[in-house]
Structure formats: structure tokens, C-alpha cells
Amino acid sequence: MPFHISKDEILETVRMVQSENLDIRTITMGINIQDCRHRNGNATGKSIYKKIVKYAGNLVKTGDEIEKEYGIPIINKRISVTPIANVADGLNRDEIIIIGKYMDDAAREVGVNFIGGFSALVHKGFTHGDEELIAAIPHVLSNTERVCSSVNVATTKSGINMDAVYLMGNIIKQTAEFTADRDGIGCAKLVVFCNAVEDNPFMAGAFHGIGEPESTINIGVSGPGVVLNAIRKHPEMDLGELANVIKKTAFKVTRTGELVGRVASQRLGVPFGIVDLSLAPTPAIGDSVADILQSMGLERVGAHGSTAALAMLNDAVKKGGAMASSYVGGLSGAFIPVSEDAGMIEAVVAGALNIDKLEAMTCVCSVGLDMIAIPGDTSADIISGIIADEAAIGMINRKTTAVRLIPAPGKNIGDWVEFGGLLGRAPVMKVNQHSPTGFINRRGRIPAPIHSLNN
């Protein structure tokens, strides 16, 4: 052969794409919009719109061309922008709502399905801009289709802003109520972070961080199906050997992302940022992280042993992926959303998986309590309590954690919420009803942990 790849290797690659759902989950273009600031919401929004259309006008077309040429599906093309709270500081809530509308219009114009960056970083406290932006979140998420929002309430270096945790419990409730006619879908586009990263390509939590260049291309790969099949082939292996198989598979999956990233960056004339080494499931059968854990030998995900299995999976994916990419970044860890993973949903229905076990699992993987529907009458304080716990896990373990909960209006345990598409469907899960109100109402700031003092 004129180049030395064996037939088996070629067929392996073809099988990964054809029957194991190997794909590029997202090409996300980060765009700096700090220069779009004007005196009012309308002028600022217009300027942001123009810049997005100018920079990302060819994003979808280029992605489609690469998909055709390389025969690798590229599922989503997306955009992240500088946190709007920074750009719009000095404007009031109503003007920021107008900016959200322009973001939505820009996303529609260039043909991307989500745009991230309706965000604020408030881990140590609020600026006026942060306060106005957070107040605008429920309005923007209910009146736009493609805008995604995130709020960073804690970091390992600065501790947990409990005022923000308190506030976000209410904002999530309000967002659910504003989109009550659609099962609270607004909340599926709202992430509360600890240790948010600046180069995350995945929605809903993507934003273009302050330390990022003018524009950049970040890639999110996917491949739970590929890892699943690799594990299924080796029922006899001990876990050390299995970790090696996962590493090799993750290497191959990540290489695809690296290639697509380099080609996209070259064709768009935008620097290549990072490949995010996350295992991102979809509602499609066989594209499930839960199935991987079960193929390792658990009857159902949620069984005792799930956390250990996930820890090993997550670590092996990173080790294999790190070697495959020149720049690794983003969230880089296995995602365990409920509504977006058919195996997780089955485990919840079977009574094997509950929110407490999910919380434990977030200690060892990316990225948090994700896409979990809870009863619509859950109080804001309980939601704040859940956020505080998750932020504490992130803060102490120096990792990113997040909460994306949907308190589905009018729904109770056992009911279903239906979002469709990549967001999927989810059974409403039980939440501990004992009140954290006294704790949450103390507010203030939980100080940074001792191991943040590492200078």
C-alpha cells in the first residue's frame, strides 16, 4: 500500500463512524466581544450581532465541508462569546435583555444551534453588571431559542459566593416558571458552575473567557459508543488491562478531534484552541456513558461500585486523549447527564440511580448534576442547597463542577419532561425534602480552602 495503514485499521475506523456513533460533537468558535460595548443595549447588541456574523459567517459551511470530505459527522457548530456581564457592565436589566435578543438573532443568522456566553463570573462577588445580567436570565432564556447562560459562583482560589448560590436557586425557579409551558426548558440552557473554564466548547456552559484570544476554535469529541464496544470485546480482562484498552480507544477518538480542529482552524483562519476530551453521551441508543459503566460489570449504573468504575473510565480517557492532542482543555471528563443518556434514564426508572449517587459520581468526573429534572414544587432553598454541595465538591477537589437542574413546573416524581433533540427526555427525580433554609439564608462567602494557598 502506498501508505502503511493496514486493512484492519481502516475497517476499524470505518466501523467507529458507521456503527459506533463516533463523531465530532461540536466545533465551537469563541469570539471576543469586549470591543462591542456601546452606550445602550440596542447599540451594543447590534455591534455584537455584526461581529458574530462577520467572524462566524462561514463556520457552518466550513464544518459541513469538513464533514463531507473526511466522512466524520460533525453534529453541532456553536459560538461562545465573552461573558455578557463584562461587556454590558453599566447597562441595566432591560438593556441586557435586548442584547440577549441580538445574540439569538446572530446565532440564527449564522445557523448555529446554540450560542453561549450570557454569563457572569461572580465567585467572589457581584459587579452591578453581574447583578443586572443575572436578573435578566429568566427573561432571556424564555424569550430566546438559542442563547445559553452560565454563572460561576465558586472557585478553589476564592471560595463559594453563598449570596450567588442563594440568588441562583431563585433564578432557576423563575426560569422554570417563565418556560412552564415547555416543561421548564429554559433551565436546560442555564448552568451554575464552580471553577468554570474559559475554553469549554460544550453547551450550555460555554463562554469565551477573558484570557482567550480574539477568536479561537475549540473542539468537543464524542465516542461513548466506541469505548463501549471496545470494552465489550474484553469480558475476561482485569481492570488494569481494561484501563489500557480504554486509553487506546480514547487516543483514537481524540485524534479525530485533533484533525478536525486543525483543519477547521486553518480554513477559518482562526487559531486552534483546544480539544475537550469529554465522553459526551446522546440520547441515541449505544451512545451512553451509563452503558459503558454497565459493560464494565455493573448491573445498573448507580449500583455500589459505579463511582469507582467512573473514576477509572474518566482517568483512562484523559490519559489516552492527552497523548492524542497538542492542546487539551475545556472540561475534559466523562459527562453524566441524565436526560441526554438513555442508560442513565433506564437506571433512574429501575430505581438504581438517585440524585445522591449522581452527586457522589460528580466527585470523580466531569461535570456535575446535569440535566436532572426535579419536582416543580422544589423550593429555591433546596436548589441552592444542591448548588452549594456541588460547588463544595468542585472547590475542594480543584475541579469544575456544575448544576443544571430543571424544576419542572407542575410535575412530580415519576412524571416525565420532554425536551426533544440532544436535550432528550427525563424522569422527574426525588430530592431530599429536609430544609437547608437556615444554612442558605446565612449568605456571605465560604472562604477558600487551605490548599488554595499554594503560592
Partner 1 sequence: MEEGKKLIITVLGYDRVGIIATISAILAESQVNILDISQTILQGFFTMVMVVDMSNSKADIGQLRDLLVEAGRTLGLEITLQHEDIFKFMHRI
Contacting partner 1 (CB under 8 A), which of 9, 35, 94, 109?
Answer: 9
Nearer to partner 1, 65 or 177 (CB): 65
Contact 257, 221 (CB under 8 A): yes
Peptide bond into 367 cis (omega under 30): yes
Tell me how far apart the alpha carbons of residues 208 and 386 are, in angstroms, rounded to a whole number: 26
Residues 76-115 close enough to bind partner 1 by CB under 8 A: none
Contacting partner 1 (CB under 8 A), which of 40, 71, 214, 451?
Answer: 71
* Least distance in angstroms from the C-beta of 454 to partner 1: 34
Is residue 14 part of the contact set for partner 1 (CB under 8 A)? yes
Is residue 5 part of the contact set for partner 1 (CB under 8 A)? yes
DSSP state of 449: P
Residue type at position 396: I
Residues 6+ apart with CB under 8 A from 412: 375, 376, 377, 428
Is residue 17 part of the contact set for partner 1 (CB under 8 A)? yes
Is residue 248 part of the contact set for partner 1 (CB under 8 A)? no
Is residue 73 part of the contact set for partner 1 (CB under 8 A)? no
* Least distance in angstroms from the C-beta of 8 to partner 1: 10
* Least distance in angstroms from the C-beta of 2 to partner 1: 5
* Least distance in angstroms from the C-beta of 5 to partner 1: 5
Tell me how far apart the alpha carbons of residues 172 and 415 are, in angstroms, rounded to a whole number: 20
Nearer to partner 1, 211 or 269 (CB): 269
Beta bridge partners of 191: 150
Is residue 3 part of the contact set for partner 1 (CB under 8 A)? yes
Nearer to partner 1, 5 or 285 (CB): 5
Is residue 34 part of the contact set for partner 1 (CB under 8 A)? no
* Least distance in angstroms from the C-beta of 366 to partner 1: 23
Beta bridge partners of 74: 24
Stretch of 5-13, 94-102, 147-155, 165-173 contacting partner 1, by CB under 8 A = 5-13
DSSP secondary structure of 296-364:
TT-SSTTSTTHHHHHHHHHHHHHHHHHHH-SSEESS-S----STT-HHHHHHHHTT---HHHHHHHTTS
Peptide bond into 85 cis (omega under 30): no
Task: Write out the three cell numbers for 312.
Answer: 477509572
Contact 290, 343 (CB under 8 A): yes
Residues 254-273 close enough to bind partner 1 by CB under 8 A: 255-256, 258-259, 262-263
Instruction: List residues binding partner 1 (CB under 8 A).
Output: 1-5, 7, 9-11, 13-14, 17-18, 68-72, 252, 255-256, 258-259, 262-263, 323
